[in-house]
Structures are given as C-alpha cells and as structure tokens.
Amino acid sequence: MRSNLAGPRLLLRRLREVMAEPINAQERLDKIVVLIAANVVAEVCSVYILRADGVLELYATEGLNREAVHQASLRVGQGLVGLIAAEARPLNLPNARAHPAFAYLPETGEEAYNSFLGVPILRAGRTLGVLVVQNKSHRTYYEDEVEALQTTAMVIAEMVAAGELEAIAKPGTGLDLSRPFRFSAVGLADGVGLGHVVLHEPRVVVTNLIAEDTDHETGRLEGAIDRLRLSIDSLLASGDFAQSGEHRDVLEAYRMFAYDRGWIRKIEEAIRNGLTAEAAVEKVQSDMRARMLRQTDPYLRERLHDLDDLAHRLIRELMGRQHSGGAGSLPQDAIIVARNMGAAELLDYDRDRIRGVVLEEGGPTSHVTIVARALGIPAVGQVQDIVSLADAGDAIIVDGGTGEVHLRPASDVQDAYAEKVRFRARRQAQFRRLRNKPSVTKDGVEIALQMNAGLLVDLPHLSESGAVGVGLFRTELQFMVASSFPRLSDQQAQYTQVLDAADGKPVTFRSLDIGGDKVLPYLRSIQEENPAMGWRALRLGLDRPGLLRTQVRALLRAAAGRELKLMFPMVSEVSEFHRAKELVERELKHARRHGHDVPDSIRLGVMIEVPSLLFQLEELFQVVDFASIGSNDLFQFFCAVDRGNTRVADRYDTLGPGFLRALKLIVDVAGRHHVPVTLCGEIAGKPLEAMALIGIGYRSLSMSPASLGPVKAMLRSLDAGRLSARLLPRLDHGHPDHEIRAFLRRFAEEQDVAL
C-alpha cells in the first residue's frame, strides 16, 4: 500500500542539495531531520549514532527536546532504538509504549508520541546508528515510508563513513565505525605483523547514490543483470571452473540468486525510491549482510556469503571493473584481508610489502597457508566477519603464533605488539649468529639439520639458515600454484634451478604428492569419502604412470652430472617402492638410449607415513637407499586424527609413549641396516619435540627454515646422552609414568636446555 508520501525521490533530491551545502556536520544533520519529518509527515525525526562504547547517542532531532541532543543515550539492546541496532531490523509500531522493549527517556519529552518507525543506519552490513520518526496519532507506517527511511539512512551512513561526524563527537567518545576489534582465531603461519588492511577483493565504493533518471537506472540494472546471468551460465556450461577458481556448487548458488525475482524486485524498488542502480544493489546487499552477521547456521551463512559475492559482482558490472589493489597502491606494510584466496593469488602480491594475511576461511593445511609459511608471512584463518568489519587502510595486527588479530588496535596494544616484534627480531638475530656454528650437542653428538622447501622462493633460506641440505622438497607446490599442468620443460627448469640454487648441498626431491587435500584446480578430481586415505600420492603415480614418468624424466635431466635423491610419498607396501624403482630404471635406460646425460648417482627412498610400513621395516631397509618419516601423515593415520581438522588434530600428543615407540622402532631398525633416516614432519621443527627425537636416536631432522635457529639453539645446549639415559626407560612397556611431555619439560628446565 502506498502512503501520501510527498515522494521518496523528491526527498532524495532535497537530501542531495543538503549534502552539497557548505555547512558543518551538525547543521547538515539538523537539516536532514527537518527534511525527513516534513516528507514522511511525522512530528518527530531523530538520528542516533552508535559510539565505540556501544552507546547510541542522540545526534539530531526535529520534534524532540533539542537540549537532549548529545545528552540522551541508550545502550545497544536497550529500548526500541537499542533493539533496532541490536537486530539491524526496522521496527514499525502504532503504539510504541505498549512494546515490551519501550524505554522512556524523560529528557527528550517523547511521552506525547504513540506511533514509532525506526530503521538501522547500515553500511556494508554494519549498524552505525538508528533513524527514527514518531507521530502522536496511532498509525502504522506504510511500506514505502519504511523504504524511504531506509534509503535516507544510507545517505546518513555515508556521512558517518566519510568521517564527517567525528568532528561533532563529544571528546573521548569515538564512533563505532572506528571501534577496535579483537579476534581469537586459528594461527596458520607463525610470526607477528603490524600494518594496514588491504582488502583482497576491494569493496567498490558507491559514491553516486541519488538518481537523476529512474527509468535510465532501471534500464542499467536490467542490462547488468543480463550480463551477469550470461557470464555465470557460460561458466557453468563450459565446466571450466579452474579459470575462475570457483567450484560448481558456488556457481550454482550464484545462478539461483541471479534468477531470484525477490532479490531483483527489492533492488528495483530501491531504484524507484530514487537511488542509482549501484546504490540500490548496495542497499539490498547491506540489509542482507546485516542478516548474515547475525546468522549462526553455517549453511545459511554460506549461502548469504554467496549472495553477497553476487551483489558485489553486480555492482562491479554496473560501475565497470575498477581494479585497485595492484602493486602500485599497496602500502609498505600491507596486511591482506580476504574471505579466502588461492596460493597463486598470494604470490601475485609484492612480497616485500606484505606483513600478514587474515582469512575468514583457510585451514592449517590449505595451500595459501603452505605458501604463507614458505614466504615467512604471518597468517591467521577462521576470522569470522573480518571482511565486513575491516575497511581498507585500517590499522591491524596479526599474530600467527597465537591466532590473534587486532583490528584498529588501541595504542597500548600497538605498543605491546611492536615490542613483541622487536623481541622476535632480536631472537632471530641470535639465531642467525648460530648459523655457522656447528650443529652438535653439548656431549658431541652431531645432528644434521636440513630444511623443507617446495618453491623457488624457499631456496635463499638454504644459505641464510645454515641448513646442510633440503631434506624434503615438496614438488607438488609447483603444480598447486600453476594454472595449468606444468610441462616436462617447466618441471625440468624448476628442478634445475633448485639444484643450482642449492649449490652442491643435497636436495631430497619427493615425487608428486597430490590427491587428498592437495587438489590441482586443472586436474579433474574425483569425489572421495576419505581423500586422505584415497587415491593420492604414489598410488596415483603408479596408476597414471604418464604423470610420474614425466616427473622422473624432468628430474633425471635436471640432475644430469650430479646426484639425484628421490623419494616416494605414501608408500604402504614395499612392492610399491619396487614398482616405482622399476619406472625410474626404465626412464634411465630411455635417457641413455637417447643420448641424454644422466645423474652421476641416483639414490631412491621412501617416506614412512603409513603405519603398515612399520611392520615391513626389515624388508624395506634391505631395498631402499634412505627413508624419511612424514610424521604429519604417520601421526594422522597412527591415531586416526584428521590433521586438517582443528577439532581433533591436537587431541592426542605426538609425544605420547605409543607414537614415540613407533618412531624409535624405525630409527633402531634403520640403524641395524645402516640406512640413513631423516624425520621431516612438523614435529622436527618444534624444539621440545626435536629434543625428544634426538633422545630416541634421530640424528637427522628436516624442518621449515624458520625453525632451524630455535632447534639448533636447543640442541647445542643439550646433553643427548643424559637425555637418552633418562628418556628411554620411560618408553619401556610397563613404566608407570606416561607423561613424557611433562618429563621432557622438567628435564629441559633442570638441564638448562634452551627451548
């Protein structure tokens, strides 16, 4: 039903004039409330603005007692105004005083008014304040009046966002828009970064809110929606999701919304009320985002996120594709904030300017995490709503060690973190000084410390960290960051560069470990119930020998005239190693037959990461040249805990007697067969765990470059013989004390081991 409203379009046009007047913020707000009251035919119109302390303060009023401006206030959740702010939803009441939430503010003199209409002032889904009209009569406001008020609220939201109101805020009462936020989330890559927000998908800022010509705007909307539908349809039809980095189900959701009449009708209505097409999309998007922020059901949140993405695309379609964010506009201390991003996208940024990454999604083993770790960029994931709450340029702190993120931190928090960064830098400097010191325990036991790598960017660490070689080169990373399958020549070039950069230090390549959670966007993946235990790694390599053969060929060529060390992941039976070895030998013959140079020596090994191998160790060590323990997977399968599932991944202790006995068994049997073993899982890089590994007999460890310093500091202060003498009896069956971790901590403390 329509009211006798003077016309929302007329109101907007007047508002535009007021916005353009060279007056101060208070005068502008005062004029706006007069305009709205006249237009909606209301006796009262008031604006409440949300402060950083959670209080809604009366900023302007027509009709209520003017003395109450900047005096009257309500908390979020208190009274009708507080309720609207808390729920981010309009409230339309013929008899406000009968509402259970009604709270009377005597200083305003509002007792004379019965009907009440209030709407949240929203921007990007955040509530910045509340706009209210009131009448003496008992009336229900018409739908188009609610719409008109919401549209007007958008204009006020822009005033708040532009910082205009800061000037008239009472001293010491900042606005909510600049409120600090602290998030406790999941640390993905260690390190502390202080900097400023860069939105990975920059929000398109709609500045032209008010339409000149409504028909023209409706036409623009129709055109943009047609183009949007076409692009989604053709993406779905082509089946080429790799190119856009999107999955079919997300695109299906997009398509559903793009054809949703309800959504489009709401946008059309906002245009009829006088907004430009892009402002209308933004208005509907903002209402929807407010719902999203309140929504706790993960499925619905996900769908609302999809709709939010789609609205974004539509705005871009309407405004032309503006690209900000390129290297030119990147600040010196950029912290990238995104819902999620691919590894290759992170690599596209200028590494020297990135201080951190904050993701709404992202798991500990996701590819972007692996790359962030490789680059030494602190990263935190699972940070709810960060994209909505952060604005480009906001100050932000990322602590990848604790999983904390501070958005717009107070100065004391900034100071504390700046100190933490200085402290870490001092420690790093100490570790660097250890670089050329021997890696030998106090009692003279030599420990070979190697590093894990997977990208060329890792290689400079080899000399910086003092590692004696690369103990694990994860070849799949090159495949994961590429947009299409790397050809033989690409692979050969990469391996050659790796060996050149290693400059004679040994590099242990691992053949492709794809499948499971390591998905290649361009390789058609099959749905599996249990991908970690599915068709992955060497299983895939043996079933699709073309893949493995190409890789082996590239490695043989790259290592021509030098040593090639190659190991195979996820071996479950010794026979798999035999088959892989045969493949290498065939390739070697092929190379010789075709006159290619070949490596001087070839050493082939396995990763021990499936528990079944523990019961084939005698046979295994008779045939392999070396072995490396992938403790991440071995522990995952040993304890049946999904390494990527944060709910259970930390449930059992890697230093429990069961797992330590298993690790000791491997090193003991290998020793009898004189086969070198290294341990290259995450535990090798944790000082306390590394100490335990040395205690049970490991003499070679491979870890991320950042861990080398701390582990070396630990072992140089350790008496390995004394530790073994005290630790090994505890691993005897029947020993009463199972608390190995606590024992190790006590030992380190007593013996002054640097942890």
Tokens of 722: 């004394």
Do 693 and 703 contact (CB within 8 A), yes or no? no
631 binds, among ligand PEP, Mg ion, none (CB under 5 to 8 A by kind): ligand PEP
325 contact, one of Mg ion, ligand PEP, none, CB 5-8 Å limit per kind: none
Nearer to ligand PEP, 403 or 454 (CB): 454
Binding status of residue 57 toward Mg ion by CB under 5 A: no
Catalytic residue chosen out of the listed positions 45, 200, 461, 680: 680
| Subset of residues 269 to 308 that bind Mg ion, contact rule: CB under 5 A | none
Pick out residues in 336-395 that bind Mg ion (CB under 5 A). none
d(CA 349, CA 344): 9
The least distance separating Mg ion from the CB of residue 516, rounded to whole angstroms, comes to 9
680 is catalytic: yes
Minimum CB–partner distance for residue 651 and ligand PEP (Å): 18
Output the smallest distance, CB 679 to ligand PEP, in A.
8
Candidates 669, 586, 563, 692; CA nearest to 621 is 669
- Residue 474 interacting partner from ligand PEP, Mg ion, none (CB closer than 5 to 8 Å by kind): ligand PEP
Query: Catalytic pick from 367, 406, 461, 639?
Result: 367
Give the nearest distance from C-beta 611 to ligand PEP in angstroms: 12
Clarify whether 367 is annotated catalytic: yes
**Cβ atoms of residues 660 and 740 within 8 Å:** yes
Residue nearest to ligand PEP (CB): 630
Closer residue to ligand PEP in complex, CB, 474/686:
474
| Total of residues contacting Mg ion (CB under 5 A) | 3
Which lies closer to ligand PEP via its Cβ, residue 39 or residue 678? 678
CB 270 within 8 A of CB 147: yes
| Nearest residue (CB) to ligand PEP, 120 versus 630 | 630
Select from Mg ion, ligand PEP, none the partner in contact with residue 342, using the beta carbon and a kind-dependent cut-off of 5 to 8 Å: none
SS3 675: coil
What does 190 interact with, of ligand PEP, Mg ion, none (CB < 5 to 8 A by kind)? none
Rank residues 224 and 660 by Cβ distance to ligand PEP and give the closer one.
660
Q: Greatest CA span in the chain, whole angstroms? A: 100
With CB under 5 A as the contact rule, which of the stretches 77-85, 353-361, 548-556, 630-638 interacts with Mg ion?
630-638
Euclidean distance between CA atoms 82 and 132, whole angstroms? 12
CB of 476 to ligand PEP, least distance (A): 8
AA letter at 122:
L
Rg of the chain in Å (alpha carbons) = 32
In angstroms, give the least distance from the CB of 197 to ligand PEP: 31
Q: Please report, in angstroms and rounded to a whole number, the separation of the first and last CA atoms in the chain.
A: 72
The pairs formed by 312-317 with CB atoms below 8 angstroms and a separation of 24 or more are 312/201, 312/203, 312/204, 312/285, 313/228, 313/254, 314/224, 314/225, 314/228, 314/281, 315/204, 315/206, 315/278, 315/281, 315/282, 315/285, 316/204, 317/224, 317/227, 317/228
Amino acid identity of residue 247, one-letter, is H
Helices (H), 607-646: 617-623, 631-639
Nearer to ligand PEP, 165 or 608 (CB): 608
Query: Smallest gap, in angstroms, from Cβ of residue 518 to ligand PEP?
Result: 8
Contacts of 281 (CB under 8 A, 6+ apart): 221, 267, 311, 314, 315, 318
Which is nearer to ligand PEP, 151 or 631 (by Cβ)?
631
How far, in Å, CA of 596 to CA of 432, rounded?
41
Q: Which residues bind ligand PEP (CB under 6 A)?
A: 472, 474, 513, 609, 630-633, 680-681
- 325 or 630, CB closer to ligand PEP? 630
Single-letter residue type at 54: G
Q: Should residue 633 be labelled a site residue for Mg ion when binding is judged by CB under 5 A?
A: yes
630 binds Mg ion (CB under 5 A): yes
Binds 158: which of Mg ion, ligand PEP, none (CB < 5-8 Å by kind):
none
Shortest distance, position 609 Cβ to ligand PEP, whole Å: 5
d(C-alpha 9, C-alpha 469), whole Å: 71
Is residue 592 a contact partner of residue 598, using CB atoms and an 8 Å limit? yes
Name the site residues for Mg ion (rule: CB under 5 A).
609, 630, 633
> Which residues are annotated as catalytic?
367, 680
